Structure 1
């Protein structure tokens, strides 16, 4: 069995276990998703949502966010980690998008590009790596087949031998995206992300994974290391 075949088999098992297809959690435009993703770094989801809502309440358009005093943006997002870093980063990203799009602050045009080209376009922007570029394409209303790989997904993939044990998140994202069949649409790729993420959150924990409850245990290179909760 090739690694691609193994990845597909495990993916299908996880989707079955956790109830795919999954309803998307976001219907934002891609610029809004980019801002939300930048806010979310090392921040809990509930805090990120609150900060995003506070930001758009105080500065209702992204043009206003881009042009506002940085201190005002920082104050609006003060609940997130490192607001002093994220505020100027968000403003710089918005400015770069506008500059590269002939004065139009929109990323809707990315839907016309192949996924790799769209990700490359985004990853030129400082602060945007593999996870964020994929999130903008997959989680926004674009619904493009870009695979988001978070730390839960990474941990599961490493333990079952789909990627090297010491591979960085960026390397894992690149490898796992390469295993995605070309005919998968955005929903199917989103389901893949959700299946791995939920398994990492609920069973394949960083410490004391619940191996006795693992539905992909037959294909795992890390069996019997956990203890019953």
Structure 2
């Protein structure tokens, strides 16, 4: 049975929207430079822990917490079995370390119980949708984290993560139904991409929309006048061409 997000994706994504998504991708790739080099070579389990640390945390702080954790504990088994207070001390640069420490340990215990070991390399043998569903069946793992594990890790599986910048740009461009949250947007935006795209192309799509949100399509004061996709953006056209400075 199709999930609600899958049903929304199939009914929302018309040929016109898919064509717009592809044009946006091509123009932003030209503007910001593609292919974008992958930033990580982590194994998928390490990428999962890194992703859990990154929630609502600046990259530099979550990276510091990850390095502190790796320096103090030689294996993920040691992290799983350590006193929670010691894990919390290591991840203190993150927001909500008191929540993230027990969550990481619970996720590691769940993986151990299911697989008998702490190794997620076998996810590469599953279709992306099945690999994502397996990860998301673990409490505390959502669609952004599952996609990050598959795409950012050395598995290089074509799964699309959507962060807040990506989501904001896609919403203003009209690529998402009004009011849809970040979680359900994953299936909708992934369905707009060609099914035969490589992991590199999917990664480029995520990166250029995120970069565009950081540099041009800002939260409070979007710089619509310099936007390379202004003519494709109903929000930008309303602000610039119709003189209504509204920001959704």
Fold similarity call, TM over 0.5: yes
Give the structure 1 partner of residue 141 of structure 2: 128
Give the structure 2 partner of residue 92 of structure 1: 106
Q: Distance in 2 between matches of 1:202 and 1:219?
A: 18
Shift of 1:15: 1.1
Does the 8 Å contact 1:18/1:195 carry over to 2?
yes
2:199 corresponds to 1:186: yes
Residues 111-190 of structure 1 correspond to what in structure 2 (within 5 A)? 111-190=124-203
Shift of 1:105: 0.6
Shift of 1:42: 0.8
Q: Distance in 2 between matches of 1:22 and 1:136?
A: 18
Give the structure 2 partner of residue 8 of structure 1: 22
Describe the superposition over 1:193-222 as per-residue Cα deviations: whole angstroms up to 9, x where unpaired: 001000000000111100011000010011
1:223 aligned counterpart, secondary structure: helix
Q: Distance in 2 between matches of 1:135 and 1:223?
A: 29
Q: Distance in 1 between matches of 2:184 and 2:117?
A: 33
Q: RMSD of the alignment, in Å?
A: 1.1
2:105 aligned counterpart, secondary structure: helix
Shift of 1:98: 1.2
Structure 1 gaps, min length 5: none
21-30 or 216-225: bigger deviation: 216-225
2:212 to 191, 199, 219: 199
Describe the superposition over 1:148-173 as per-residue Cα deviations: whole angstroms up to 9, x where unpaired: 10011111111111101310101211
2:58 to 44, 48, 73: 44
Q: Distance in 1 between matches of 2:222 and 2:46?
A: 35
Give the structure 2 partner of residue 74 of structure 1: 88
TM-score, normalization by structure 1: 0.96
Does the 8 Å contact 1:159/1:165 carry over to 2?
no
Structure 2 gaps, min length 5: 1-14
Give the structure 2 partner of residue 104 of structure 1: 117
Give the structure 2 partner of residue 222 of structure 1: 235
2:79 corresponds to 1:65: yes
Q: Distance in 2 between matches of 1:165 and 1:115?
A: 27
Q: Distance in 1 between matches of 2:74 and 2:37?
A: 27
1:55 aligned counterpart, secondary structure: helix
Q: Distance in 2 between matches of 1:204 and 1:145?
A: 25
Q: Distance in 2 between matches of 1:16 and 1:99?
A: 46
2:34 to 16, 20, 23: 20
